[in-house]
Amino acid sequence: MAENVIRAKDLSFNYEESTEGISDINFSIEPGMVVLLTGNSGSGKSTLLKCLNGLIPAVTEGELSGSLSIAGKEYSSVKMHQLNKVIGSVFQNPRSQFFTDNTTAELVFPMENYGYTKDQMVQRLKELEKEFGLDGLLDRNIYTLSSGERQMIALASATALKQKVLLFDEPSANLDYGNAMKLGRIIRKLKSEGMSVIVADHRFYYLNGSIDKVLFMDHGKLKVCESEEEF
Ligand code: ATP
Ligand code: MG
């Protein structure tokens, strides 16, 4: 049996002084899987992704319980900088992923955490420019880019790091049909390179035929479907 890159057992999290959160979450993800995470607004998708990448409870007060292992290591024993080398994330608002002297080449990823220098990151992005259709975008002032253009750069830079797992939170929200289909092709390429991709989205036509598992979130509870057909 293949190793699990993520295994969650009875994972629960409640925001401080709130009944909202996620509870009794059980699932596993193997290398090279495309996983769709879907469910209504407010059902807990982003909360689950933030648990996986260490943002919860790092920046939010609240209780995380149950067990979670990432790339074979118990989550509680993994330090943030180690986690960042294994899991890459692109959030709903990619603007927050840039710091700026106003050029897009200035990326917000905590590069020292990944062991990359800024120059190396920019180099990687340039290599990916053609494939991702980012021609010329890197030299532009980020505030002149559209949300969709920013989204594509954030997605490209996240994949350039080649972590084992990528978390995309509503990646198609700002993309037109053509760019969403391009995103689908990129995700299939990442899968073929052995990366696991968890995509939280309400629309997923662009993943058509390449979903290996569906995580369906409903009021903080998770239902796991082992195939797109089962969903
Ligand atoms: P969407 O599809 O709109 O992005 P989601 O499934 O990603 O929704 P979450 O953002 O995970 O939903 O929110 C789950 C629940 O937790 C919601 O009820 C939300 O109001 C609540 N919540 C989210 N962030 C916090 C926070 N920082 N403090 C308290 N409650 C929060
Ligand atoms: Mg969300």
pLDDT of residue 174: 83
Which structural domain, as residue segments, surrounds residue 48?
31-60+79-225
Domain membership flag for residue 161: yes
Ligand 1 centroid – CA 44 distance (Å): 6
Domain membership flag for residue 23: no
For helices 147-160 and 118-132, what crossing angle results, to 10°?
120
Ligand number with the minimum distance to the CA of 47: 1
pLDDT of residue 58: 57
Does ligand 1 have an atom closer than 6 angstroms to the CB of 50?
A: no
Domain membership flag for residue 16: no
Instruction: Output the domain CATH number for residue 115.
Output: 3.40.50.300
Q: Which residue has a Cα nearest atom 24 of ligand 1?
A: 47
Q: Enumerate residues 6+ apart whose C-beta is below 8 A from 120.
A: 111
pLDDT of residue 100: 41
Domain membership flag for residue 102: yes
| Nearest-atom index, ligand 1, CA of 44 | 11
- pLDDT confidence tier of residue 49, bands split at 50, 70 and 90: very high
Ligand 1 centroid – CA 20 distance (Å): 8
pLDDT of residue 59: 53
Domain membership flag for residue 71: no
Query: Can you tell me the mean pLDDT for 115-122?
Result: 63
Domain count, the chain: 1
Is pLDDT at 223 greater than 90 in this prediction? yes
Query: Can you tell me the mean pLDDT for 106-131?
Result: 60
Is pLDDT at 186 greater than 70 in this prediction? yes
Domain membership flag for residue 153: yes
How does pLDDT run across 154-185, given as a tens digit for each residue?
A: 777 777 777 889 999 998 988 889 889 988 98
CB 36 within 8 A of CB 171: no
- In the DSSP assignment, the letter for residue 59 is S
Report the distance separating Cα 139 and Cα 120, nearest Å. Answer: 16
Is pLDDT at 28 greater than 90 in this prediction? yes
Ligand 1 centroid – CA 165 distance (Å): 22
Domain membership flag for residue 154: yes
ipTM, interface predicted TM-score of the complex: 0.98
Strands 62-70, 87-90: pairing kind: unpaired
Q: Which residue has a Cα nearest atom 11 of ligand 1?
A: 44
**Pick from 14-18, 91-95, 123-127: least confident:** 91-95
Reported for 204-212, long-range contacts at CB under 8 A and 24+ positions apart, including other chains, are 204/36, 204/38, 204/172, 205/180, 206/172, 206/180, 206/181, 207/34, 207/36, 208/184, 210/34, 210/184, 211/34, 211/35, 211/36, 212/33, 212/34, 212/35
Query: Can you tell me the mean pLDDT for 173-198?
Result: 89
CB 34 within 8 A of CB 211: yes
Domain membership flag for residue 194: yes
Please give the order of strands across the beta sheet that includes 87-90: 87-90, 165-169, 196-200, 34-38, 213-218, 221-225
Does ligand 1 have an atom closer than 6 angstroms to the CB of 41?
A: yes
Ligand 1 centroid – CA 151 distance (Å): 21
Does ligand 1 have an atom closer than 6 angstroms to the CB of 19?
A: no
120 versus 214: the higher-pLDDT residue is: 214
Ligand 2 centroid – CA 169 distance (Å): 7
pLDDT of residue 206: 95
Most confident of 84-88, 124-128, 137-141: 84-88
Radius of gyration of the chain (CA): 17
